[in-house]
Structure 1
Amino acid sequence: MTETREQLELELKQVKRWEKEQKDLWFWEKLGRLPFVLLDKLTPRVLQQKVGQAIDELGSYVQSGGQYLIAEKDVLRLLGARTIDEAALLPIAHMDKVAEGLKESRKSYAMVQGMTTGIGGIFTLAIDIPALIGLSLKVIQEIAISYGYDPSRQEERIFAVKCLQFASSDIVGKRAVLEQLEQFGKPEEHGQVAAQIQGWREVMVTYRDNFGWKKLFQMIPIAGMLFGAYINRSTLQDVAEAATMLYKKRRLQERLQALDA
């Protein structure tokens, strides 16, 4: 371990300060929480089917890894580690640097993706929603590896979906997720894994609904390019930031516990 107790505690205080800042949503975000019924009425059946397909694929990811499970070798190369276990021993500052680089890279990719799928308005939105979900899960897994956690393990896939849920939740939802994650990994929680897996559909529906009115603007052909670029970039920013803080908190807590032992 390369950090002192004081350094670890200082880093943990910064993470907890970030948690406290997740208090409320901007007014525009609150508008985005309005019922999605109107959008459902305006949405062609093909788009609704695409969203349903994305929900099913997320369920497959939680239960078996599905198509969203990534290979870790590229992230390990950035970390300069041979295995995830070796990555878990790296200095926190080095983990932060790699995670920040991945976040910036994925934000840029999401912006281009949103601009591209915004060209055709409502029709290309059917491509954008599943693609953004996939990119969100990809960056969460990459950040997990950056902090020495193996996203191929079922409990880590559940943690990844919790990060996704946190990023898209309101203040009440964020508090609930933080409370759940405080108990994550404890022996008494193992019996609740099945129940958490069954909750993946609710997470996905919430994630979809929270696009709200923002996605309505992306349905406007051509003008949707600008909205799509902004929306996707900000979505990836929120997801990557949540994953970074939540995985970093786990690693800091584990190192402090190791010092106590």
Structure 2
Amino acid sequence: MIYEQQLQEDLFQWKKKLLRKSSMFERVSKKTQTKINDRIPEKVHTVITESIKKMVQATLAGSNLTTSEKKLEGKTLEDKEKLVKQTIAAFQKTAAVEGAGTGAGGIFGSVADFPLLLGIKMKCLFEIASLYGFDPKQYEERVFLLYVFQLAYSSDEHRRTTFEIIENWETKKKDLKEMDWKVFQQEYRDHIDLVKLLQIMPGIGAVVGGVANYHLVRHLGETAMNCYRIRTLK
């Protein structure tokens, strides 16, 4: 019970940090990227959106098949979270190795990094869901994972909207429509573009790729933990 009380306080602090206004640098970056997106022809957006949609759906299907069954009977929430933290740490190391390898390949390696990192992130989310006792084989749980993903990688306004859905999942999930894949891909790309930009530079690409991937997976893992804490503690 003491552990759950501490989690409530941790959740309060996380929510406060999550919903705070972005820094000036982040807001300027978002405005710049929005202007760039506005200049890209709609046909190009359609192609990118469809590509990422298929990539995510394929990754979800693959993760669904490979996620290991977890024996959670008799485990407390504290026990589960110890396993979750170990899982996130393992995926961080995997992502760092992958990022360093593709970063060393310059721009061509960075192109390969995108789907590989996406796969690592989705697999990580599936494992976390399983450890909290939720079945990612169920359709609504896979949809929930996509909203967790969006929450981790989105701008102020979209982050608040997404958090409201997650915080009130049991009531909101009934009214959800088809995922807006264009928004999904733009928010994700805008969030990671600046972080990953230096990865294409010769000489430092490997270091930047490894460090960036390590922190991107950590951020996703922490976001997922708090989202599942909200559902579990309710």
TM-score (norm 2): 0.84
Structure-2 residue corresponding to 1:90: 75
Q: In the alignment, residue 107 of structure 2 is paired with which amino acid? A: I
Contact 1:24 1:170 in 2 (8 A): no
Distance 1:50 1:180, change over 3 A: closer
- Calculate the aligned-residue CA RMSD, in Å: 2.8
Q: Retained in 1: the 8 A contact 2:155–2:187?
A: no
Question: 1-side partners of 2:55 and 2:99: how far apart?
Answer: 21
Q: How is 1:23-172 mapped onto 2 (pairs within 5 angstroms)? A: 23-26=20-23, 29-30=26-27, 32-33=29-30, 34-35=32-33, 37=36, 53-59=51-57, 65-73=60-68, 76=70, 81=71, 87=72, 90-172=75-157
- Uncovered stretches (5+) of structure 1, i.e. residues with no partner: 82-86, 254-261
CA distance in 2, matches of 1:113, 1:224: 12
Specify which of 10, 17, 21 is matched with residue 17 of structure 2: 21
Deviations 1:198-242 (A, max 9, x none): 324421331122222232211112321111112111110110110
Task: Tell me if 1:233 matches 2:233.
Answer: no
Aligned counterpart in structure 2 of residue 175 of structure 1, from 160, 179, 185: 160
- 1:246 and 2:227 aligned: yes
Counterpart-to-counterpart distance in 2, 1:213 and 1:56 = 24
* Structure 2 residues without counterparts, runs of 5 or longer: none
User: How much does 1:57 deviate?
Assistant: 2.1
Residue number in structure 1 paired with 2:4: 8
Q: Secondary structure at the match of 1:222?
A: coil
8 Å CA contact 2:68, 2:127 repeated in 1 = no
Shift of 1:248: 1.8
Shift of 1:60: 5.1
Kept after mapping to 2: 8 A contact 1:118/1:125: yes
Contact kept? 1:147, 1:247, Cα under 8 Å: yes
Identical counterparts, % of pairs: 23
Q: TM-score, normalised by structure 1?
A: 0.76
Q: How many residues align?
A: 226
Q: Which residue in the other structure is 1:256 paired with? A: none
Shift of 1:18: 1.1
Measure the CA separation in 2 of the matches of 1:217 and 1:126.
13
1:30-73 per-residue CA deviation (whole Å, 9 max, x = no partner) reads: 465331739x99xxx9xxx7885333222456xxx423324343
Q: CA deviation at 1:130?
A: 1.0
Summarize the alignment of residues 174-213 of structure 1 with structure 2, pairs less than 5 Å apart. 174-186=159-171, 189-190=173-174, 192-193=175-176, 195=177, 197-213=178-194
Q: 2:64 is paired with a residue of what secondary structure?
A: coil
Alignment check: 8 A CA contact 1:111 1:229 kept: yes
* Distance in structure 2 (CA, Å) of the matches to 1:88 and 1:15: 25
Q: Deviations over 1:134-177 (max 9, x none)?
A: 11111111111111001111111111111111111123222211
- Distance in 1, Cα, partners of 2:74 & 2:67: 16
